[in-house]
């Protein structure tokens, strides 16, 4: 069922106390249309009783000015201003644990709806998305260049001072310990496990075809350029390896 047929759109009211220029109505409608047109939307939103069960069980709601009930109500009532406003900060508080989805009597998935709003924020290059994702640049670079986001040699006492005495548990002869693991792909400390070239190149194709790289370009052009160079290099290495096999 499409929700656009019986529109519950609330009229644009604007914020009389803000100096910010009002977001044009067309832009608000475009953003909501992007959220609503996702195939998952009608599956994740079936109605809303405004009962608050989702918020009562939401861990993020305990710590932040955030309520999944409020987000679902904004979407259900098609409150375009409120949706835009929530995308500036609130949607990034969700931990994506989906406790809300397990509890909602309507079978809604507030966490899933928030994911759609996040993806739309990225698509529209919203500053909130750039701010939230900036600290993850290094993780993304590591992930794409090595196939892993965390390697054993990154876990050392200097970097994890807040672990207190427990850090001694990782202050160990890592190389030796890793060599003792039966699986050869884990006998490394520079990556969590070894990812072969073929897998890396296949991952690049998936990221290209699914639009992940387009989203990255919208959010961080410099990182996108660096990652493109790495991908080109790995693809060349993979072609060279295949040529070598043909020559043998």
Q: Kindly list the residues in this chain that would bind ligand SF4 in the complex (CB under 6 A).
A: 48-54, 58-60, 68-69, 72, 94-100, 104-106, 108, 110-111, 114
Smallest gap from residue 134 Cβ to ligand SF4 (A): 21
Smallest gap from residue 198 Cβ to ligand SF4 (A): 35
| 68-96 as b/e: b if 16+ CB within 10 A | bbbbbebbbebbbbbbbebbeebbbbbee
Based on CB atoms, which residue is closest to ligand SF4, 52 or 203?
Answer: 52
Smallest gap from residue 184 Cβ to ligand SF4 (A): 38
Based on CB atoms, which residue is closest to ligand SF4, 108 or 148?
Answer: 108
Smallest gap from residue 106 Cβ to ligand SF4 (A): 4
Based on CB atoms, which residue is closest to ligand SF4, 58 or 122?
Answer: 58
**CA 27, CA 81: separation in Å to the nearest integer?**
10
Based on CB atoms, which residue is closest to ligand SF4, 65 or 244?
Answer: 65
Based on CB atoms, which residue is closest to ligand SF4, 55 or 146?
Answer: 55
Tell me how far CA of residue 54 lies from CA of 43, 225, 231, in angstroms: 17, 41, 42
Based on CB atoms, which residue is closest to ligand SF4, 53 or 226?
Answer: 53
Based on CB atoms, which residue is closest to ligand SF4, 80 or 100?
Answer: 100
Neighbouring residues of 52: CB distance < 8 A, sequence distance ≥ 6: 67, 69
Smallest gap from residue 75 Cβ to ligand SF4 (A): 9
Give the CB-nearest residue to ligand SF4.
Answer: 111
Smallest gap from residue 133 Cβ to ligand SF4 (A): 17
| C-alpha dihedral, 133 to 135 to 141 to 144, nearest 10° | -50
Contact at 8 Å (CB) between 33 and 78? no
Smallest gap from residue 28 Cβ to ligand SF4 (A): 22
Residue 108: CB atoms within 10 A of its CB come to 25
Both tokens assigned to 130: 């750039």
Both tokens assigned to 154: 């990154």
Considering only the C-alpha atoms of the chain, give the largest distance between any 2 of them, rounded to a whole number of Å: 74
Neighbouring residues of 128: CB distance < 8 A, sequence distance ≥ 6: 87, 88, 89, 91, 92, 121
């Amino acid at each position: 069922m499409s929700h656009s047929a019986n529109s519950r759109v609330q009229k644009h009211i604007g914020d009389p106390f803000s100096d910010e220029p009002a977001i044009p109505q067309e832009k608000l409608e475009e953003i909501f249309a992007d959220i609503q047109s996702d195939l998952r939307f009608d599956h994740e939103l079936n109605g809303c009783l405004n009962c608050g069960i989702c918020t009562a069980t939401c861990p993020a709601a305990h710590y932040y000015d955030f309520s999944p009930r409020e987000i679902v109500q904004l979407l259900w009532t098609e409150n375009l201003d409120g949706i835009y406003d929530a995308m500036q900060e609130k949607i990034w508080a969700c931990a994506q644990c989906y406790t809300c989805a397990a509890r909602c009597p309507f079978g809604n998935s507030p966490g899933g709806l928030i994911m759609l709003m996040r993806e739309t924020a990225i698509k529209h290059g919203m500053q909130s998305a750039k701010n939230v994702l900036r600290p993850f640049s290094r993780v993304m670079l590591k992930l794409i260049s090595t196939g892993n986001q965390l390697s054993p040699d990154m876990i050392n006492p200097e970097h994890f001072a807040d672990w207190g005495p427990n850090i001694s548990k990782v202050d160990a002869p890592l190389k030796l310990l890793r060599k003792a693991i039966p699986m050869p792909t884990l006998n490394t400390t520079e990556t969590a496990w070894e990812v072969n070239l073929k897998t890396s190149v296949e991952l690049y194709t998936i990221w290209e075809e699914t639009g992940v790289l387009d989203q990255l370009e919208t959010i961080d052009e410099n990182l996108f350029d660096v990652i493109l160079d790495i991908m080109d290099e790995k693809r060349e290495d993979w072609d060279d390896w295949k040529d070598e096999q043909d020559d043998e």
